[in-house]
Chains A and B, each alone.
Chain A
Amino acid sequence: MAAASFYVAQDDQGRHHVQLFGQWSLRAPSNDFAKLKKSLQPLFADTFTKWDLLAVEQLDAAGASTLLSGWGNKLDDNISLRPEHTALFNTLIGLAKPPTKKTECDWFAPFVGIGKGVLHILHHFIEFTRLLFSLLIEIAYLFRHPQDFPWREFSANVFKSGVNALPVTALLGFMIGVVMGYLMSKQLHTFGADIYIVNILGLSIIRELGPVLMAVLVAGRSGSAMTAQIGVMRVTDEIDALTTMGISRILRIVLPKVLGLTFVAPLLVLWTSGWTLAGGAFASNMELGISFRFFFDYLPLVVEPINLTLSLIKGLMFGFVVALVACHFGLRIKPNTESLSNSTTSSVVTAISGVILVNAGFAILTRGIGV
């Protein structure tokens, strides 16, 4: 068999006779229908051209469709076909036509877009509130049926989002501490205010940086994992399977994640802040010669203990926000990969934004305390 080819002859009236040969199908690896169509274009344009397909060895839907689109999607007397090919052409002609697209410009589209965006956010808000309330209802249920508490899932989540996060939070915290300590030592040293490095680092890290750093890391690490996990459970119908076993998905999936992260987040805050402070102490030791012993002895004297309490409360809130946002987006995932990736992205972005928002609100409420 040979690749698709054609031969053009001209009769005495100047009409073209096109004879097609070979395999007009995708089977022949050397066929390129785009090129064939292009070289046949002038012949397609001439309505008097005669087409002879009697010598075609093989014709499939792709070849037939290419020819048909040149003939204006109809057969006429100028075209001679083998009987077994006619059926294929007729089937193709009888198929539904592509819907004609609306091309007119819609001037209101941007305004409609704004409205839709607002509705979308409102919808998220309603769903989020609904999730929050179902969670509270499940917690209330657990008070009456404590034996139903999902301990295994809870501890698995504590392990996954807490214990497994220890190395990365320690490393990043330490490095940020070193950088901050180094820069501040430089500045303070020019004023001869070396000793204040402890105040500045202590307050900023314990009160602000530690919790926020922890929240950002956890949102990226555990929040995305939670969203993706719930999403895949939806894609593979696992959530439906749970439901048919009479197990509440909020109780089994959302609650252990939220409580687990809320429980472990304050501990992670302590851990992260500790390592960041260590980094800061290390830098001040290097730059200003302040000993570790002195740094940590002096720290409780200049940073009021209430700051530590605030930091732990922040940890609780951030853990809660990150996990709840992650579950919210996870449960909204539609069973396809595109939605999975979109929701995971939104989950992390929203969680981090939420944490920063909560942090700002909290800072305003507690502005008179501990500073």
Chain B
Amino acid sequence: MSKDFIQTRAGDNSPSQEIICDVQNVCTEFDDNIVHHNLNLKVKHGDITALVGRSGCGKTTLLRHIIGLTKPKSGNVLLFGENLHTMERVAQRRLMNRFGVLFQQGALFSALSVFDNIAFPLRELKQFDETIIYQLVMHKLALVELEPRDANLLPAEISGGMVKRVGLARALALEPELLVLDEPTAGLDPDRSHNFIDLVKQLKKSLGLTVLFVTHDMDTLASLAERVAVLEDKHIIADCPLRELAEIDHPFIINFFQSIRSRLERL
């Protein structure tokens, strides 16, 4: 490694105390269904945090609070130290360009082709001409292992796993600092999810990336997550490095850790 490279690594590490995402005492309820009660979560710069929990325990809902789509009933969500809901519009938009989101269902624009979906955020910046946009889109497509000829297809014409990958390419288009991924590897074959994990790791290394993702896939969890936040009983019962889960005495975690222990040993 060259000297400069070590310098950039050091540059990345210095703000590592910086908290990218700070969820404070969040409570959420839908009618009489209480989903979160006094939930706290902090994601630090450079962390790859997995959010796990039973199906329907409110993981997607929490992610939606974090990216500012919904407002919790009470409590605060700070992103990059600021509250999205109380910001002035230009600053809010700028902040929103600092994170990329992959939704559980992909959420591609159904009327736009794959190419236009990925080009959309780039065009919105109004900084690039079409040849540069073309090159950037092709670059993102190559990153997520899609063929250039897939670029002209409409979202309805591609497979479920491809939808995920196009969604990821779109989330990556603006080189975000924070990636929020809702079940990124669901619907990918083992090879692809393996490559996906490598891609995220490599992006983290080259650009410095903070990742918060939800997953039910133990392999993804074991090989990608550095920290894991467990959502259970309406709040985060554990937020620690994966291996430290072994020391926590909670029925859900004990059960949960059993299924990843063998995978951790294999690594």
Contacts and interface: CB of A to CB of B under 8 A. Distances in A.
A and B: real partners? yes
Contacts of A95: 135, 138-139, 142, 148
B4 A82 contact: yes
Q: Main SS of the interface on chain B? A: helix
A84 to B, nearest CB: 6
Nearest to B7: A57
Contacts of A32: 127
A337 B139 contact: no
Interface stretch (A11-19, A61-69, A361-369): A61-69
A32 to B, nearest CB: 6
Contact of A61 (B97, B109, B136, B156): B136
B2 interface: yes
A34 B133 CA distance: 12
B100 to A, nearest CB: 11
A92 B143 CA distance: 11
Contacts of A68: 135
Contacts of A92: 135, 139
A98 B134 contact: yes
A341 to B, nearest CB: 9
Contacts of B206: 84
Interface in B1-39: 2, 4-5, 8, 11
Interface in A32-90: 32-34, 54, 57-58, 60-62, 65-66, 68-69, 82-84
A336 B110 contact: yes
Interface residues of A, number: 33
Interface of B: 2, 4-5, 8, 11, 94, 97-98, 109-111, 122, 125-132, 134-136, 138-140, 142, 148, 154-156, 174-175, 177, 206-207
Given A61-B136, A65-B136, A29 B142 contact: no
B204 to A, nearest CB: 14
Contacts of A25: 175, 207
Contacts of A84: 2, 5, 206
A65 B132 contact: yes
B94 A33 contact: no
A62 B175 contact: yes
Nearest to B133: A65
A215 B157 CA distance: 37
A65 B94 contact: no
